Amino acid sequence: MNPLRRALLAAALVLPAATAFAAPLTMGFSQVGAESEWRTANTASIKAAAKEAGITLKFADAQQKQENQVKALRSFIAQKVDVIAFSPVVESGWDTVLKEAKAAGIPVILTDRAVKVSDPSLYVTFIGSDFVEEGRKAAKWLVERAAKTPNAALNIVELQGTVGSAPAIDRKKGFEEGIKANPKLQIIRSQSGEFTRAKGKEVMESFLKQRDKKIDVLYAHNDDMAIGAIQAIEEAGLKPGVDILIISIDGVRGAFEAMKAGKLNVTVECNPLLGPQLMQLAKDIVAKKPVDKRITVNEGVFTADTAAKELPNRKY
Ligand code: GYE
């Protein structure tokens, strides 16, 4: 065998073995909690994608508490993970811990929710939905619907997400911006239902008890709160989706079932299946490849009249 051929053969034998034995990349991931169907699907996507990508995942559930997330991030830093990813429960208060990660040379990826920091170099990239746009889409549906009864004033109640969280702040902002087009659309009450079914139901019950004004529309920042509120509306002897129009966000299976039953009018899609993109990003960042600072997700709007047809295609 000529020397060149021998050298090539040797390289072919050695190279794959060297790659196979390279230490797997380790990611520390701090999740918000398990507050909604969206979140459960998001966690499942991240865990499955890490396995698929051969990434060792250290997963911590913060139970909707920022202090738990800060603790988890500090423990990932102490363990010297290759990359940290997290979905910040609220927007503010991250500067100190993110500076610690930066000082340790560990890149940080924000997933799903954004942060407000003094220095944008404290994270490498943010992958997630455009929540303001989701709020605008929700408003657009209502403005179009209201145009069918031009002179009727519609009283809206709003169930906000977790106080101080990016989706609660932005979905409120986008919706308010969108309904300005029609002065007959007024938000008469607005309170947090913490993104959960139980709290959504409880707050809706209290809205319904205040009998000073008729409620025509419910805008819920996620499907779970809308589903909780649907129960409250039924228990109050009213027909959800008919007596009170209901708009929500996420597009989870439960929302499609509610739409199929005629109890929810519309859901704006927010895709939780971020796992595969997140793992690819982690690999690129560790390999020092350039990545975009902001990565958005493409999403649609689904109404009750197409729910039955769409339900079998839903992946979460
Ligand atoms: O809409 C809600 C969840 O941050 C986009 O958090 C996420 C939101 C989602 O609890 O259901």
Domain ranges of the chain: 24-129+272-298, 131-270
- How far apart CA 142 and CA 301 sit, in angstroms, is 12
Atom of ligand 1 nearest to the CA of 195: 10
Q: What is the dihedral angle through the alpha carbons of 235, 240, 243, 245, rounded to the nearest 10 degrees? A: 140
pLDDT over 50 (residue 17): no
Average pLDDT over residues 259-278: 97
- The verdict on domain 24-129+272-298 having CATH code 2.40.50.1020 is no
pLDDT over 90 (residue 12): no
What pLDDT was estimated at residue 1? 53
| Residue among 281, 290, 289, 291 nearest 25 (CA) | 281
| Residue among 295, 309, 313, 308 nearest 112 (CA) | 295
Q: How many residues does the chain have?
A: 316
pLDDT over 90 (residue 8): no
Say which residue the tokens 């034998």 belong to. Answer: 13
Which range is most confident: 5-9, 23-27, 148-152?
Answer: 23-27
Q: What is the pLDDT of residues 159-207, one digit of tens each?
A: 999 999 999 999 999 999 999 989 999 999 999 999 999 999 999 999 9
Q: Which residues line ligand 1 (CB under 6 A)?
A: 35-36, 38-39, 112-113, 167, 195, 222, 224, 249-250, 270
Looking at the domain that runs over 131-270, which CATH code has it been given? 3.40.50.2300
What pLDDT was estimated at residue 123? 98
Q: What is the pLDDT of residues 118-129, one digit of tens each?
A: 999 999 999 999
Query: Between these two residues, 149 and 227, which has the higher pLDDT value?
Result: 227
Amino acid symbol at 22: A
What percent of the chain shows pLDDT beyond 90?
Answer: 88
Q: How confident is the model at residue 299 (pLDDT cuts 50, 70, 90)?
A: confident
Choose the residue to mutate in 169, 270, 274, 297 for probing ligand 1, maximizing ligand atoms within 8 Å of C-beta.
Answer: 270
- 24-129+272-298 and 131-270 share one fold: yes
Say which residue the tokens 């065998």 belong to. Answer: 1
What percent of the chain shows pLDDT beyond 70?
Answer: 93
Q: Residue 67: exposed, middle, or buried by beta-carbon count in 10 A (0-12, 13-18, 19+)?
A: exposed
Prediction pTM value: 0.91
Q: What is the pLDDT of residues 215-225, one digit of tens each?
A: 999 999 999 99
Atom of ligand 1 nearest to the CA of 221: 1
What pLDDT was estimated at residue 9? 53
The pair phi, psi for residue 247, each rounded to 5°, is -120, 130
Average pLDDT over residues 265-284: 96
Token pair for residue 110?
């924000």
Report whether 33 contacts 62 (CB < 8 A): yes
Report whether 36 contacts 223 (CB < 8 A): yes
Query: Between these two residues, 20 and 182, which has the higher pLDDT value?
Result: 182
Q: How confident is the model at residue 149 (pLDDT cuts 50, 70, 90)?
A: confident
| Residue among 172, 279, 156, 144 nearest 216 (CA) | 156
First CA to last CA across the chain, in angstroms? 57
Average pLDDT over residues 286-301: 93
The pair phi, psi for residue 230, each rounded to 5°, is -60, -40
User: Could you tell me the strand order of the sheet in which 108-111 lies?
Assistant: 56-61, 26-31, 83-86, 108-111, 125-127, 294-295
How many A from CA of 22 to the centre of ligand 1? 36
What pLDDT was estimated at residue 211? 83
What pLDDT was estimated at residue 88? 98
How many A from CA of 310 to the centre of ligand 1? 21
Q: What is the pLDDT of residues 65-103, one digit of tens each?
A: 999 999 999 999 999 999 999 999 999 999 999 999 999
